[in-house]
Amino acid sequence: MKVLLLSSTISNLGGGVTEVKRRVAQSLAAMPGVDVSVMGLEDAQTEKALPLWQPLQPQTFPTIGPKAIGYSPKLLSAVKSSTADAIHLHGIWQYPSYAALKGGKPYLTTVHGMLDKWAINNSKYKKQIARLLYEQAALNKAACLQAFNEQEYADIRGLGLKNPVCMIPNGVDLPQDVAAIKAEKPIWADVIPAGKKVMLYLGRIHPKKGLTNLVIAWKKAIDTQPVAMKDWALAIVGWDQGGYEQELKQLAGTLQLQNDLFFLGPQFNRDKQNAFAHADAFILPSFSEGLPMVVLEAWSYQLPVLITNHCNLPEGFAHGAAIEIKPEEQSIAEGIIQTTTMQSDALAAMGAAGYDLVQRKFVWSNVAQELLDVYRWISNNGPMPQHVRLK
């Protein structure tokens, strides 16, 4: 079985989409009888990202014109020339969608939360143009769409898309050397006072993540519960998009949070693992997500998490692994206070519940096998999997 994985980038500029595509590709490549190729567009971080894909060697192609579109005739030619039995397209709204549409092969499209109301209304007019030019046709022609959860399935059907939909979640790698990482110095050791507990945000510095409300909520929590909050710090780890991080730093300065809130920039590989291993809780107050990899990663490090229902992980609440917050200042503040006033054993129990949930439901080997079944089906090499919905 030959599979081509396609997206707009192979680098960290793609955030969680890149991480999902990379681990899907590597997990598939480890399976007998599966030949995996990877294609994407060139960007400023491509060369730096290539070693992370080993043993795979992604092909990347230059773009012409605005980066937001990703127009790349060479990518289209390469897709058409591929000998793949099936294409797996990760993400929409850019030229790789057109390449999949015109590639001449059956394709599965993973929309990665990009069809929910918030995402569609963000850069609304650009997306309307893309939809008219190619995206609606690309969505309509997909042999199958992948939904991570019930909400994403509802979003797909709510837009009138009648394609088969496979219900397959994201996956995560269970960390193997947590004790060794915990023995290392925290990445924030030089900026956050020793002895303080750390609530971690890790991901893109983007308005949809609810970070403005998080900063304001942290101040509200301090004003409401100063005794409990003096033992905690907020670490914001991630890569800036469009200058938004500077806005947040200015807001934090205005609120006099210099000793309580710390911006640590993007962290990858061992440093990213260090952040999870040394954190005491994790927060994602997002307005819009597909199924956020970062929450699964936090659970894999046995962290209690605070998430909104837009993270589409209701099993986290049902399993006692997460505190539900709304992406609003007051609700976030209340969740922060609830977490920072909990006993240590209660926080540990939440983290253990998250680890148990990930171990049972969200490991990459299971995800890759379910996707492989879909590739075989859409290329007429196997039966329709049970997790595919036709209605």
Encode the chain in three state secondary structure.
CEEEEECCCCCHHHCHHHHHHHHHHHHHHCCCCCEEEEEEECCCCHHHHHHHHCCCCCEEECCCCCCCCCCCHHHHHHHHHCCCCEEEEECCCCHHHHHHHHCCCCEEEECCCCCCHHHHHCCHHHHHHHHHHHHHHHHHHCCEEEECCHHHHHHHHHCCCCCCEEECCCCECCCCCHHHHHCCCCCCCCCCCCCCEEEEEECCECHHHCHHHHHHHHHHHHHHCHHHHCCEEEEEECCECCCHHHHHHHHHHHCCCCCCEEEEECCCHHHHHHHHHHCCEEEECCCCCCCCHHHHHHHHCCCCEEECHHHCCHHHHHCCCEEECCCCHHHHHHHHHHHHCCCHHHHHHHHHHHHHHHHHHCEHHHHHHHHHHHHHHHCCCCCCCCCEECC
Tokens of 110: 């993973």
Instruction: Report the pLDDT value the prediction gives residue 323, as an integer from 0 to 100.
Output: 98
Check residue 121 and give its pLDDT.
87
Q: What is the pLDDT of residue 102?
A: 96
The whole-angstrom separation of Cα 25 and Cα 28 is: 5
In this predicted structure, what is the pLDDT of residue 375? 97
Quote the CA–CA distance of 171 and 27 in Å, as a whole number.
Answer: 10
Q: What is the dihedral of CA 31, 99, 122, 244, to 10 degrees?
A: 70
Which domains occur in the chain, in start order? 2-171+363-389 (3.40.50.2000), 178-361 (3.40.50.2000)
Closest by CA position to 205, among listed 159, 156, 251, 144: 251
pLDDT tens sequence across 298-308: 999 999 999 99
Q: What is the pLDDT of residue 157?
A: 95
Phi, psi (degrees; rounded to nearest 5) at 297: -65, -40
Q: What is the pLDDT of residue 342?
A: 97
- The stretches in the chain having pLDDT less than 70 are none
The two tokens of residue 73 are 């005739």
β-pair type (261-265, 232-237): parallel
pLDDT tens sequence across 107-131: 999 999 888 888 888 888 888 888 8
pLDDT of residue 320: 97
pLDDT at 123: 83
pLDDT of residue 218: 98
